[in-house]
Structure formats: C-alpha cells, structure tokens
Structure 1
Amino acid sequence: MSVRPISAADAIARLQDFDAVIDARSESEYAEDRLPGAVNWPSLDDAQRHEVGTLYKQVNPFEARKRGASLVAANISRHIARDVMDKPKGWKPLVYCWRGGQRSGALSLVLGQIGFNVHIVEGGYKAFRAAVLAELPGLARSLQYRVVCGPTGSGKTRLLQALEAAGAQVLDLEGLASHRSSVLGIIPGQPQPTQKRFDTLVWEKLRSFDPGRPVYAESESKKVGNLAVPDALMEAMRASPCLRLDLADDERVRLLLEDYEFFSRDPDLFCARLDALVQIRGREQVQAWQAQVRAGDIESVVRELLVKHYDPGYASSTSRNFKAFADAQPIAPKDRTPEAMAALARELVDARS
C-alpha cells in the first residue's frame, strides 16, 4: 500500500505531477470551491451527509458511523467501477476532503490497497484555502499591470478580449466573477461563483502569469457584483499605469445595446434591474425609464443611463482611485467593432515588443 501525506503548499507546487486531483467531499462543498482541476468523487453526497448527521444527533455516534461506513463503502465501490478500472498501475492521484480526515482517508486507503501511488493533502481543502489566501498578496504584488480605464460602454472588456487573442496577459475579473460590474451587470443564466471560488480563480490566474510581462486589467471597483476583489490586488492595480480608452458616445450606446441585448429581448428583466437605481436616481426617473423600455425605446434609455447615471463623476472617481489616471495614455479604436479592437490590441502589443 502506498498512501503518502503531502502538505497543501507542496501539493500546490506539484499539481502537475499528479494524474488526477480527487475531491472526496460532497457535491455542494465541491461547487463552493475546489483545487485546480479537481474532479468530484463524494465519499458521502449531500443527502447522505445529512442522513448520517441526523443519526449522530438523534440516535448515537456508533449507529451513525455504521451507516456512514456502509454508504462510503458503496460510493467508493461505484467510483472505482466507473473511473479506476482502466487506470494503469503507475496512476498517481492526489486526494483530499475538508480537513484530510475520514472521507479522503477511506478513499485513499482503498486506492492504496489496489497498488496506486496515492497522495493525500494534509489538512484537506481547509489547508489549501489557507495557502491560497497566504499566497495571493505576494502574487498580486509581483506583477506589473496596465489598467484599462474608460467610461461605461467604451469597450474595455472587448479590448481585453482582443489583447488576450493577440497574445497579451489579461486578467478579466468580470469574466472570472460572471458579472459586468455595474448595477445592471448581472448576466442571465450565469450565477456568480462563491467568494471562495472567485478567490481561487483569481489566484490560479495570477500564478499563471509571467512577472516579466505586463498584465492588462480593467479599472474595477473593489466589488464585482457581490464578490470582493482581493485587497492586495486592488492596491497593486490602483498604483499601476493606466490606459484611457476613448470611444464616441454613439458607438458606446450601440456597444451596450449589443452587449446587453438580452435586456431588449426581455423588457421585464430590464425594468426589474432598473429598480435597483431607485435609491440613487429616484422613483420618478426610474419609472420614466421603465415606461420607455416597455414602449420599446431601449436606445433612449441606454443613452440617458450613460448621461445621467454612469458618466457623472466617472473621471473624478477614477482619478481618486487610480493614482496614474491623470497621466493615462489615451487610446482609441476606430469604432466598437471586434476588428477595430483587434487592431488596437495589436498596436499595444507591438509597442511593447
């Protein structure tokens, strides 16, 4: 039998050495966050954990352990039948659960008895989470950022996507957060990840970058939807050189109509989101916008949202939060199209070559 404990820090450093990373926790724990590339082999699923926990409290621990052992054994048997029968003897998995205890221990024991070289994370996911939080500040400060600033609708996300396609290093926080970072920024059908998951995604992205090359990012606020950007990353970005993305107002309106096309398809959704502006813009103004939306005049509402809600105070807010904004390099695509953004991205990348 070969089951070896490994610290969370060593596991992170050696992730590429393992043929599989196996999360033995329940499906809801796995969904909340997990190690990079992990697959979910629950020793107990959510319903079973509830059943065993109820037995533990209402009957006694001994009966709970018997029932738990029966369920765990059956689940491990299914995992082996489904996922292990085709594995060669040299297959090397990394296994973890919440704290590196019974759930991962049971699975590792069986895999080790088969003859596989199994490593089990000491302290489990809890230790991994602590390692991520410890590493994040240093990672964030080790990189050089170029912060793309610009008012709503200027095409910051489109430019980031074009930069990435052109070979630049890009940190798309809105993409990682599944949110467009404004009060109307919810994306239908794309729930935001948990804070823990977002932290891990940011950490995973930062550690993939070459510190010798710039990382392009958008001038975000401290929160993207409901998720907080790590403090050290926010501080590093706010102290970094800025690019000021300029786009004509008519192009900005058209860009927003394209990017938020789902609001045009679902006026009720748009009106519901506009309710979030009542406290800032007043009930009368919001109701007027909602009436225009229901009448099909989406373009006028988008234009007024830019003029009355998004643009006021943008420059002063950006100047206050991003120290180098006053000296930002102005950049301007020909228009809002992907082709124009791609051309601008190539110029920026070529200028740094």
Structure 2
Amino acid sequence: MAAKPDIVTLDQIGAFDTLIDARSPAEFALDHLPGAINLPVLDDEERRIVGTLYKQTGAFEARRIGGAWVARNIARHIEAVMQDRPARWRPLVYCWRGGQRSGAFALWLRQIGWAAAQLQGGYKGYRRWVVEQLDALPPTLDWRVIAGPTGSGKTRLLQALAARGAQVLDLEALARHRGSILGAWPDGQPQPSQKAFDTALVDALRRFDPARPVWVEAESRKIGAVQLPEAMAAALQRAPRVQVEVPFAARLALVLQDYAWLGRDPQALALRLSALRGLQSNDTLARWQDWAQAGRLPELFAELMTHHYDPLYRRSQERTAAGRVLPVTALDAAGLDRAAAELLDDAGMPPVFR
C-alpha cells in the first residue's frame, strides 16, 4: 500500500530541505540520520517520566502530561529555529518509529503552512536499512588495501591518494581511533557509538563509484570499541594488498610526531600502558612506565614498536596473503605523493588521478 503524501520513505529524503530528529538528545547522540538536526519534542528527563507514567498508570495519563510538554517544546523550536523559514520550506521529521512524536511535530508544521512530512518507520526503519546496506555494499566495491607496520604512514598515504583524486575510505577517522592500545583520539575525543559508526560507514560507502578502486588501510576487525561489519571485513580480507616498507628511523619519527600529545600527561600515558600487563614482562612494563613518566618518548616508542607492535603485525601477516611491496624511503609530502602516483599508475588509473 502506498504511503500517504505526508509520510515518505527513505528514498525520498533528498526532496526535503531540512531533516528534523524529534527524539530526545540522548537518542540523537547515540546515532541519527546524516545531516539531521535535533529538535526534541521531549527532553531526556521528560521522556523518562512519560515512559514511567505509561507503564505505571496507562496511556491516557502519560499522554495528558506528555502532550503539554510536546506542545511547549514544539512551540519553542518554532520560535527559536523556524522564524526565518520561507513558505516553500520543506521539513522532514522523524522519531523512533515514525509515530506520535514526529507525527505531532509534522502536524504543527503543516498547520502553519509548510509542506512537512514524516519519515515512514522513523529511525528504527532507517537502522534496519543501514544493517542491510552494511551487508550489501562492501562486496560491490573494488577494494585496494594498504598494509604496513605501525608508523608506515598508511593514513598519510591515503590522504596523498585522495589529493590525487582517488577514492579513499579512512576507517580510523570514522572510528576516531587508531586501533591500538594508544590509539585513542587526542584531547579525550570519544569514539562514536557502534550505530553511529555504522551510519557514517554506510554514508561513505554509498558515495563511492563501484567502477573505480577504493583505497583503505588494513585494519583488524575491531577499531577501538567499534567493529567492522562482517561483509566489510570479508571484502577487505579478499582484496589485493599493498605492503608499505619504510625504514625504521622514518617510522619512529612519524610515531613520535603523531603521538606527541600523549607526552602532555605522563601519568595518563603510564596508566594506558597498564593494558599491556600479561603481554609483556613486568620488568619491561615497569621500564616503559618509568620512561613514560620521565617523558622519554623516543626510547619508549622505539621499544613499543620493536617489542609489541611489530611482532603483532608479523603475526597478523601470517594469516594474510602476500601482496605487492611498495618501498617508501621518506614520509614527507613529496615521498608520499610519489608513492601515491606509483600506486595509481599500477592500478591503471588515467593520468588525471596521477
């Protein structure tokens, strides 16, 4: 049965000017549709109270109390956000299931005269679609995986490829994590939720041209607290690989540059290293923590690379088919640009990308 004119499906989102998420701030923070703005009809505490009333006293009491809050919040949003919107403005509203919260908001907006619509199925329907896309999209793309031990400049090489017009997927940027015990983003930036990571990943995958290669860094299944979907991990496992080989001194210099921020809080760095207990001897771990607290980062990272990261990488390579080796002698802009040009040449890309 066709949807009503004021209830639209996901494939019609592009016809609207603004996407409004009517859920609570906590729901929005966990995940939301790309580009949506949060104009909650109930805040977190109001939603909790209404939910409790619904369970304890029934639907009528919950709606009697909640209805007044919904009306007040919608009016506040109209006054604060929508006073400059022209008559031709087309907003699309969604909530959890495409039910009462988004329905009330869209009705008010239509009463004013805007061509507001409600998203069929709400966020729940969108989440179901995301899960389907995570299974369907990865096998359709021509993946090229860049591998190499810690400090090989893989992320910088991706950036050099992107600067030459290549299609690039930076999974660490989406996950906001480098995928190691010290891989947290600087200044306490949190990782996205798994659902938000999935949303960002699908949004990126849908933008790629299947007829052109997509370059990506080799990653384990988990990147910090988030996880690659099964179809994505399997596609990357099957993809052609490029093994970047960089002199140790150049790798160490890059690691010291990328992780210099950890030296701002020696005590926190020493505490992070505690995650290696059981993987390294107590004497080794004590030495590394002493170096961390003394700010001796060159010695610390040199041993972390030789005693921890490089052995882990070698073990991971035993489970992976060998690929083409790309020697990179310098990780400066010129050296990375030369490496990117060589990769694109080998991939048969036209001169515009080289």
Question: The TM-score by the shorter chain falls in which range?
Answer: over 0.9
1:336 to 331, 340, 349: 331
| Aligned-pair CA distance for 1:332 | 2.8
- State the match for 1:267 in structure 2: 266
8 A Cα contact 1:3 1:109, kept in partner: no
> Taking structure 1 as reference, are residues 61 and 292 closer, same or farther at Cα in structure 2, changes over 3 Å only?
same
> Taking structure 1 as reference, are residues 246 and 303 closer, same or farther at Cα in structure 2, changes over 3 Å only?
same
Q: Using the alignment, how far apart are the partners of 2:5 and 2:27 within structure 1?
A: 24
Question: Normalised by the size of structure 1, how large is the TM-score?
Answer: 0.93
8 A Cα contact 2:266 2:294, kept in partner: no
| Aligned-pair CA distance for 1:263 | 1.5
- State the match for 1:242 in structure 2: 241
8 A Cα contact 2:20 2:38, kept in partner: yes
Q: Using the alignment, how far apart are the partners of 2:122 and 2:86 within structure 1?
A: 26
> Taking structure 1 as reference, are residues 319 and 214 closer, same or farther at Cα in structure 2, changes over 3 Å only?
farther
- State the match for 1:6 in structure 2: 8
1:215 aligns to what SS in structure 2? Answer: strand
The 5-angstrom pairing of residues 201-350 of structure 1 reads 201-320=200-319, 322-323=320-321, 326=322, 328-350=323-345
Q: Using the alignment, how far apart are the partners of 1:114 and 1:296 within structure 2?
A: 62
Farther-moved stretch of structure 1 (114-123 vs 163-172): 114-123
1:178 to 176, 179, 193: 176
Q: Using the alignment, how far apart are the partners of 1:268 and 1:40 within structure 2?
A: 38
For structure 1, the 5+ residue unaligned runs are none
Are 2:73 and 1:75 equivalent residues in the alignment?
yes
| Aligned-pair CA distance for 1:129 | 0.2
2:137 aligns to what SS in structure 1? Answer: helix
The 5-angstrom pairing of residues 28-107 of structure 1 reads 28-57=26-55, 60-107=58-105
Q: Using the alignment, how far apart are the partners of 1:87 and 1:297 within structure 2?
A: 57
> Taking structure 1 as reference, are residues 19 and 69 closer, same or farther at Cα in structure 2, changes over 3 Å only?
same
For structure 2, the 5+ residue unaligned runs are none
1:235 aligns to what SS in structure 2? Answer: helix
| Aligned-pair CA distance for 1:3 | 5.7
> Taking structure 1 as reference, are residues 117 and 319 closer, same or farther at Cα in structure 2, changes over 3 Å only?
farther
Q: Using the alignment, how far apart are the partners of 1:139 and 1:117 within structure 2?
A: 33
1:22 aligns to what SS in structure 2? Answer: strand
Q: Using the alignment, how far apart are the partners of 2:35 and 2:193 within structure 1?
A: 17
Q: Using the alignment, how far apart are the partners of 1:156 and 1:147 within structure 2?
A: 10
8 A Cα contact 1:19 1:91, kept in partner: yes
Aligned residues: 344
User: Could you give the per-residue CA deviations for residues 59-87 of structure 1, whole angstroms, max 9, x where no partner exists?
Assistant: 55433211211111011111111222222
Farther-moved stretch of structure 1 (269-278 vs 335-344): 335-344
1:311 aligns to what SS in structure 2? Answer: helix
User: AA paired with 2:179?
Assistant: S
User: AA paired with 1:6?
Assistant: V
User: AA paired with 2:280?
Assistant: R
1:167 aligns to what SS in structure 2? Answer: coil
| Aligned-pair CA distance for 1:313 | 4.6
User: Could you give the per-residue CA deviations for residues 154-207 of structure 1, whole angstroms, max 9, x where no partner exists?
Assistant: 111111122122211111111100000012111232100000000111111000
> Taking structure 1 as reference, are residues 350 and 261 closer, same or farther at Cα in structure 2, changes over 3 Å only?
same
- State the match for 1:192 in structure 2: 191
Q: Using the alignment, how far apart are the partners of 1:21 and 1:339 within structure 2?
A: 42
User: Could you give the per-residue CA deviations for residues 253-295 of structure 1, whole angstroms, max 9, x where no partner exists?
Assistant: 1110000011222211211110000121133221111112223
User: AA paired with 1:284?
Assistant: D
8 A Cα contact 1:148 1:156, kept in partner: yes
User: Could you give the per-residue CA deviations for residues 111-151 of structure 1, whole angstroms, max 9, x where no partner exists?
Assistant: 11122222211211001000110122211110001100001
User: Could you give the per-residue CA deviations for residues 285-320 of structure 1, whole angstroms, max 9, x where no partner exists?
Assistant: 211111122233211111111111111152341241
Farther-moved stretch of structure 1 (246-255 vs 116-125): 116-125
Q: Using the alignment, how far apart are the partners of 1:211 and 1:130 within structure 2?
A: 23
Q: CA RMSD in A?
A: 1.7
Q: Using the alignment, how far apart are the partners of 2:13 and 2:340 within structure 1?
A: 33
**Identity percentage over the alignment?**
47
